[in-house]
Structure 1
Amino acid sequence: MSSKNLYRTVVRWDDLALEDVRPGVKRAGYVTDDVMLVMNHVEPGMALNPHVHEDFDQLAYIVSGRAKYYIDGVPHEMGPGSMLLVPAGSPHYIEPYEPTLNLDIFTPPRADLAHLAGYEKDLKK
């Protein structure tokens, strides 16, 4: 779907279906032609997932909860309202202390998460 079809269309996070990623991790996404927002619901005790994105930066924003966000092995204490740049090529992962909402921002959108735009079929054209 083109971003033109999303213009002036209100979408609420609570109305988007959550995808089960692994135990302790769920997510939903909002996608346009140029940007992707992914809301991650993460729980303490979840399986940690160090990984790397070679071709794009990631912005991580903590909406609620508290966590350590590791980049290149360095822990960063994060809480509501804090944000952090994850540079392309940097190993990273989140370790929540409590239930945490982590909003990740990707531009351009990640092709491997394009399926998160599935909500668009239900929007009024």
Structure 2
Amino acid sequence: MIIESSNYQSLKPFKQSGYYTSYYVPYYSKEDLNDKKDIIIAQINQIIQSGNISALSFAYYLYDFVKEAKFKIDKNGKKVDIDLLTWNEGDDYNTNSSTKAFYDPQVKVILAGAKKKGYR
């Protein structure tokens, strides 16, 4: 079970109780990723340093940004590899299995779409 929220403070009691928690990274625009890159990276590093999360969850289009940002700093200044969870539901398993994220050991989950009779 994964407990996910965009409010990382609310994840603290779950993490302390041993649950696997994930911070839901907002849908940033390309403009924000360019103009506010350092601010976004600092905010996410602060969230990682809180110790409230086990992973970052994000839309697949943010994969390159997340990997380039190298969120690997804990509150003691040590490097850590935080788990990554992503969704690429517009594509099926076959398409997702050919992405670089599929072969990235840091990526633990890729949610994929599956169409059948009008529902997923």
Q: TM-score, normalised by structure 1?
A: 0.28
* Structure with the higher fraction of residues in strand conformation: 1
User: Which has the bigger relative contact order, CA under 8 A and spacing at least 6?
Assistant: 1
> Which is helix-richer, 1 or 2?
2
Q: Normalized against structure 2, the TM-score is what?
A: 0.29
